[in-house]
Structure 1
Amino acid sequence: MAGGKETPRQKMIGMMYLVLTALLALNVSKSILDAFINIESNIQTVNNTEVQRGDEKKSDVGAKQTNGEGNPNKIAVEIFKVMEEIDAETAKKIVLIDKIKLMIFQKCGEDLSPAAEKPICLKDRAQWTLDFANVTKPGLTKNSEPIRPIKMNLNHVAKKDAYDEQMFIMGINESILDVNNKAPGFAVWPAMFEYRKILCDLIVKASVAIDDDGNKYAFKDPNIKKFKDIKDLGVQMEKALDASSVNQDDRGIISNIYRSLTKNEIQPDPHSEGEFRHWVGGTFDHAPSVAAIAALSSLQSEILTARANAMAYLSSKVGGGNYAFNKVIPLAIAAPSVSGGASDTLKVMMAAYDSEKQPEVKIDAGKGTLVDTRDGQAFIAYTAPSGGEMELTGEIGIKDKFGSIKWAKYTTTVKVVEKGGSIALPEVSVFYTDWPNKVTYSASGVVSTSVTCSGCYKSQKNKTWRDADGISYKGDWLYVNRGKRSVSISLQGKDKNGNNITFGKYKYPVKKFPKPEIKTNTLSKSRGGFIDAGLGEAFNFKGIKYRVIGGEILGKGFKGDRIKPASLTRSRPGQKVGVVIFTKRSDTGKEEIIEGVIEIK
C-alpha cells in the first residue's frame, strides 16, 4: 500500500489481495443491510403488538360505558372520551412518520406502487388505498386503522444502501448540527415532543373528568430536551411534577410516558472532539435507507408503546370491584426446603396487583427494613443469621378505590444455606493479557472472602465498576503475565471465629487481548469522512476506545481521524480500496496499526 517501487509480481499479489478483501467487505455490507431489514421486521411485529395491547384496553373500557341496567357508567364514559382523543393524536404522528418513510423512498426512486412486481408497501387492513405518487403528502387516503403503521417489506427495496436521499429528506445533507428545520423529515422531531405533552395533558384531563370533588389538575410541561443521564432526567421530571398540580396517582404514569419520549436534542459528536450534533443528525447521518426506515419505525414504536401504557393506565381507573388491578403475574409457592427423595406439593396461582399504586408495609421488629416501593411492590432488605432458618413477618396494606386501606399479615421462612462459594467472570469467560480481568466472587457462611491468582503479576482489590449494560459489580482486577496459557484462582474466606476456609481452586485459559478493526464501511468521494476503529461485536469491553491518529489510503497519508476528499481523487464510486490506520488505545496508550477495506461512494 505504501513504500518503495513494487515488482510486477508484488503488484499482482496486491491486486489479488485487494479483490479478495473487497469481496469480503461486500459480504459484510450485505449482512449489515440484512440486519437492518430484520430489525425493521421485528419492530413492525412489536408495533402490531402494542397497537393490539392498547386496543384491548380501550375495548374493555368501551364495553363498560353502560351497566347491567343500561344506565351510563360516568367514569367509563369520560375515560373512553379521553381514549378517543389519544387515538386521534396518535394517528396524526403515525401518519406523519409514514409520510416521511414514503418520501425517502420517492427520493430514492423506488417503485411504491402496490401493483409492482415486488411491492414495498403491503395491504394489511380492510380499507387501504395508497397515494404513492403524491410528492408532498404521500400516504393512505383510505385507512381503516390510522394508528397502525403501513406494513413494509424492505427486502423489496432496490437501493437499500442509499443514504444521500434520506439525509436530504431529514434535513442533514449540509450539517448534522444546524439541521434544516424546513426539511419534511425534520417534522418528526417537534412532533415527538408535541405528542409527549399532549399525552400527559390527556391523562390529567381524565383525572379531572372523573374527580368527584371537582379538583382541577394541570401538568406544566418542563419541555426537557437536555439531560446528563437517566438519573438527571428523573430528577428534572420530579421537579416538574412537584411544580404541577397533578393527581398523585397520575405521577407515575406521567413520569414514565414523558421520560420514554424524551431525547437529548444536542449531543457530542463522537467523530469530532469538541464538536456537537443534533439528535436527528446523529441518528440519520450516512445511514442506509433501510436503516433510516428502521429508525423511523422505532419512533413509531415509542409512540405506540406510550399510547398502550396510557390506555392500560386509564383502563385501570374503570374497574368492577373495590380494587383496580392492571398487572397479573404467576406465582409458584413451594416449601422452603425439601429432603432428598421426599414428595412435596407446589401451589401455583395468578396474582393481580396495581403497578401504579404502591403498597404500605408494617415490618415486625427485627424482620427486615423497607428499602423501596415501586411498580406496586414493596422491597424489604434483611440480614440472614449464620445458620438455620429465619422467619420474615409483618403486614401489607393496599388502598381501595375509596381510599380505605385493607391490611393483611404476611409470613415467609428463609432457610440459610450451608457454606459454599463460587467465582464468576461477568464480562468474559477467559482471562486476557494487557487487560484488567474483572473478577467477582462470593461465599456464604463466612464474614469475609478473598481470591489469589497463580499466574498474575498484579491485582487491585475491592474495585467497583459497571459493565456495558450498566450493571454494578465489586471485586478484584487481575493482570496476567504475557506468555501464560492459563491461570489458577483460589477462593478463600474467614468465618466469624477467624478460621480460614478454602473453597476451591479454579482454572481459566488465557488469551491475547483482541485486535481492533476498522468500523467504517463507506466513504463519500466528494466529502470524505471520518474513520472509526474499535473492537469487534463479539467483545463487550467497557472503557476501551481507539483514537485514529492518522493513516494512509490510495498511497496518500492523512492525519487525525478524517480522510479528506483530496485523498480520494484516484478512486471511483463503488471501488473498494485498502486503508491503513494508526490508532491509540485509550486505557493503555498503546499504538496499533490496522488494515482494512472501505467502499467509495
Structure 2
Amino acid sequence: MAGGKETPRQKMIGMMYLVLTALLALQVNSAILLKFKFLDDSLSNINQKVDKANDSAVKGIQAQVEKNHNLPKDVAVLKQGEEVREKTKQVVSYLQGVRDKLLAATENTKGGSAYKNMSMEDKVAITMLGPSRNGLGYEMKDKLNGYSTFIKGVVPGAQALALDAKEDPGVTEPSQKSKNFAELNFENTPLVAALAVLSQKEAEVLKYESDALAELSSRVGGQIIVFDKIGAFASAESNTVAAGTKYKAELFLTASASGMKPSMTLNGSPLQVGPDGKGKIEFTATPGAFNAEGIAKKEWKGTVRIRNNGRDTTFNVTVPYMVTKPVMQIQSASVQALYFKCGNKLTVTVPALGANYKPGFSASGAQVIAGAKTGEVTLVPNSGEVTLNVSSNGNAIGSQTFKVRAIPKPDIKCMVGGREANEKQGTPIVAVRNLSLRAVPDQGFANFLPEDARYRVTRYEVTLVRGRRPAMQTMTFDSPDANLTAVVNSAREGDRLFIEVKEVRRMNFRGEQEEVRMTKTFNVPLL
C-alpha cells in the first residue's frame, strides 16, 4: 500500500478487505454468499465516487496550471497527471473485463441486480487459474504490479498490489503460505467472493491514483480540499437560563476535510490538533476585573491555518466568555476574630470548583500551616489583623480579613481540702494541709481552641502570717499542688495564709510553653 495517512473511506475499504480475506477461508452458505455480494456492491459504489473525484482532481490541476499562466514545469505535471488518469482507466477497464468474463463463465447476466449462480467455484477456478496456471489471475497479477510500478514514479512508497501469500503480511495461516496470488484469491472461491476481490483491487488502484494526483497537485501549488465531514452545530448565548427568560441559540452546518491537517493556535500558543482535524481547547479560567455581580468579561483568540492553492490561509476567531467569582466558604468555631499566637484552624471550601479545587494559602500578619485534608489551614496570628489569601491551582480565588483577639487570662482558683478556699469566712486549719492552685481558662477560648487553652501554675509562694508578721519562713512551690503539713502544725486560730502566684505558663497547640504575664494573691483566714 502507499505511504501516508489514510482517510476514513480508505480505512473502511481496508477493513472490508480483511473481512473478505477471512470469509474466503470459510465454508460458505447462501447467507455468507449474500454478504459477499453486499461487500462487492459497497466497494463498487465507493469506487465510482472515487473515480469521479480523481477525474475532478485532474481538472483541478489543469485549472491551477492555467491560473499559474501555464508555466512549463506545471504543464509537465499536468501531462503526468493525465497519464496517471489514463493508465488508471486502462487498469480499471481491464478489471471490469475480467468481471464480465467471470459472469459469462458462470452464466450470469452482466449488470444484473441479482445473480442466479452466486457460487460455481469450479467455473471461477477454470477462468482465473486455468488448467496449467494460464488463467486470468496470473495475467491480472502482472497488470496490477505493472500499474504499481508505474505509480512509484510519482509516489515512491507505493507497494506491489498483487502479492503471493508468502509476501502478504495479512496471510498468517501456515496452510495458505504456499499459495500464489491467483490461488490465494480465486482457488475454491465462489463467484460473488471473486467479484468482491476484483472490486477490492479496483479500490486499491483508485487509491494509488488518488495519492499520485494529490502529490502532483501539490507540485503546482494546488491542494484539493474535499469537505467530506459535514455535521450540525449549535451555539447558545448561554447554557444556563432562568425560568421565564428566553433561551437563544444558532443552529448551522459545519464542514471539514479529513485529508487536511490544519495548524492551530490558542492565544498565540500552538494547539494540539486531533486526528479528526479538531483542536482541543482547555484552560483554567483566571480571575479578572469582577463587576458588582461577580462577573469578569474575557475572551480568547484562536487561529486556524491551512495550505490552500499554494498559499497559507489563516482564519481568526475571537470568542468571548465570562468568569464568575468563586464564593469561598470558611468554616470554623469562630471566624469573626482569631486569637493571637494560637493555632486557629479553618476549613476553606469553594463549592463551584468541585473536584478541581486544589487550594493554596498565604497570609499577611500570620504564619500559615496547611492541613492534612483539602481546604484545611491553620493561622497563627502575629499582628492585630490577618488577611488570608486563597488560590486554586495557582489562580487567585479571594481574600478574607480577620481581626485578632488577645488571649484572655486564665482564672486562678485556690483549692484546699478539695474545695475552693473561702477568703471571706475563713478555712479550717486542718483543711489547708493539701493546697492546690488551678489555672482555669476562659470558657469561650477553651471551646474554640482547646489545644491552646492549657494552663498551669508553675510557681507560687505561701506565707503563714500572724497579725502583721510572718509566723514562719515563706515556702516556694514549683507545681500546682503543695503539702502544708508544716503550716498546719504551726498555725493558730486567727492566723492567715498569704499566697502569691509568681508564674503561670500556657502550653500551645504545638506543645510549646510560654509564660503568661499575670499576678494573683490570696488571703485565706484560718479557723
Say whether the fold is shared (TM-score over 0.5).
no
When Rg is computed on C-alpha atoms for both structures, the one with the higher figure is 2
TM-score range, shorter chain: 0.3 to 0.5
